[in-house]
Amino acid sequence: MRGASLALTIFGLLFLGVAPAQKLQFSPAEKTVVLQRMKNIPESNLDRATRLKELFAEAGCEGGFLTEQKPDAAATPNIICRLGTGENDLVIVGAHYERASSPQRPLDNWSGASLLPVLYQSLRERKRSHSFLFVGFADDGNNPSGAESFLQHLSRAQIEHAEAMINIDALGLSPTKVWAAHSDKELVHDLIVMVYALKLPASQIDIAALGHADSDPFAARHIPQITIHSLTQQNVSSGAGSPFRPGNYYDTYRLLCGYLAYLDQTLKSRAHSE
């Protein structure tokens, strides 16, 4: 089942420097649908790749819009779902899906990857200004090899037209967090706009101590990027785990739905403006 389509008017927030009122439309899935995929987490990485493809297909991403891409020396593929033609400006939404292999990963990586299909679903019913690529990265532990391989397969034109990369890491441990120091300032600003508009909690936590992130290869290519997660300071400093909080998880999902719809309307083309 799918939740009712949400039409949201964003009024000018002068203290945030936001443009005049804009109307966003997106269709978030119902809470039970979103939470169900965290109840039965596939054990092996191969099962995760298979399940992620199934979830994309169930969300309506099929045929040539759903592809696999095998990174070098990886046992499983990147799973890529495209919304739009892929010929216009791109927004890339990514999360890694491999099993946690380090005590520094307090929550299973499936928490971010399993949201990709329902994020796709929230946007697909309306014509969008941008093309979106939703990518489940086949990383290798703390090495963002899936993200690096994905970028190596993009053409120069695609990289030039990549307006933003939204990196989703461990979710559901706490209210939404953003790694602001490592993220593009304008993308952080836009996230804050949606935090206020949707009246959802969010704060800043630096996760540099946990090592590399999937956003790193994008930053190295000067593609604006942002990392959204739910890790607390205790998670980062001690590697201690935290219980999964369904309410926080669904709040982050709703925030991401609105955020992607907002970016679709507000992002300026780097390729044409530079």
Task: Give 213-270 pLDDT, tens digit per residue.
Answer: 999 999 999 999 999 999 998 888 877 778 899 999 999 999 999 999 999 999 987 6
In the numeric block, the tokens 């996760």 are attached to 207
Pair type for strands 176-178 and 202-204: parallel
Q: Which two tokens stand for residue 254?
A: 């709703």
Asked if the structure places residue 118 within a domain, the reply is yes
Asked if the structure places residue 90 within a domain, the reply is yes
Q: Is 155 exposed, middle or buried (0-12, 13-18, 19+ CB in 10 A)?
A: exposed
**What is the model's pLDDT at position 106?**
40
Q: Is the pLDDT of residue 1 over 70?
A: no
Asked if the structure places residue 239 within a domain, the reply is yes
Could you give the CA distance from residue 256 to residue 270 in angstroms, rounded to a whole number? 22
Task: Give 11-53 pLDDT, tens digit per residue.
Answer: 544 444 444 456 788 999 999 999 999 988 898 899 999 999 9
Higher pLDDT among residues 154 and 21, named by residue: 154
**What is the model's pLDDT at position 147?**
94
Task: Give 105-152 pLDDT, tens digit per residue.
Answer: 445 689 999 999 999 999 998 999 999 999 999 987 678 889 999 999
Q: Is the pLDDT of residue 164 over 90?
A: yes
Instruction: Decide if 249 contacts 111 (C-beta within 8 A).
Output: yes
pLDDT bin (cut points 50, 70, 90) of residue 74 is confident
Could you give the CA distance from residue 52 to residue 274 in angstroms, rounded to a whole number? 37
Could you give the CA distance from residue 37 to residue 120 in angstroms, rounded to a whole number? 15
Instruction: Decide if 58 contacts 130 (C-beta within 8 A).
Output: no
Q: Which two tokens stand for residue 20?
A: 């005049």
Tell me, what CATH number does 198's domain have?
3.40.630.10
* Mean pLDDT, range 83-97, rounded to an integer: 90
Asked if the structure places residue 96 within a domain, the reply is yes
Could you give the CA distance from residue 60 to residue 149 in angstroms, rounded to a whole number? 26
* Mean pLDDT, range 182-211, rounded to an integer: 93
Asked if the structure places residue 274 within a domain, the reply is no
**What is the model's pLDDT at position 240?**
72
- Determine the distance from the C-alpha atom of residue 10 to the mean position of all C-alpha atoms in its chain, rounded to a whole number: 22
pLDDT bin (cut points 50, 70, 90) of residue 102 is low
Asked if the structure places residue 73 within a domain, the reply is yes
- How many structural domains is the chain composed of? 1
**What is the model's pLDDT at position 256?**
98
Could you give the CA distance from residue 25 to residue 122 in angstroms, rounded to a whole number? 9
* Mean pLDDT, range 202-217, rounded to an integer: 89
Asked if the structure places residue 39 within a domain, the reply is no
Q: Is the pLDDT of residue 100 over 90?
A: no
Range of the domain at 102: 47-266
Asked if the structure places residue 172 within a domain, the reply is yes
Three-class secondary structure assignment of the chain: CCCCCEEEEECCCHHHCCCCCEEEEECCCCHHHHHHCCCCCCCCHHHHHHHHHHHHHHCCCCHHHEEEECCCCCCCCEEEEEECCCCCCEEEEEEECCCCCCCCCCCCCHHHHCCHHHHHHHHCCCCCCCEEEEEEECCECCECHHHHHHHHCCCHHHHHCEEEEEEECCCCCCCEEECHHHCCHHHHHHHHHHHHHHCCCEEECCCHHHCCCCCHHHHHCCCCEEEEECCCHHHHHHCCCCCCCHHHHHHHHHHHHHHHHHHHHHCCCHHHHC
* Residues comprising the chain, all counted: 274
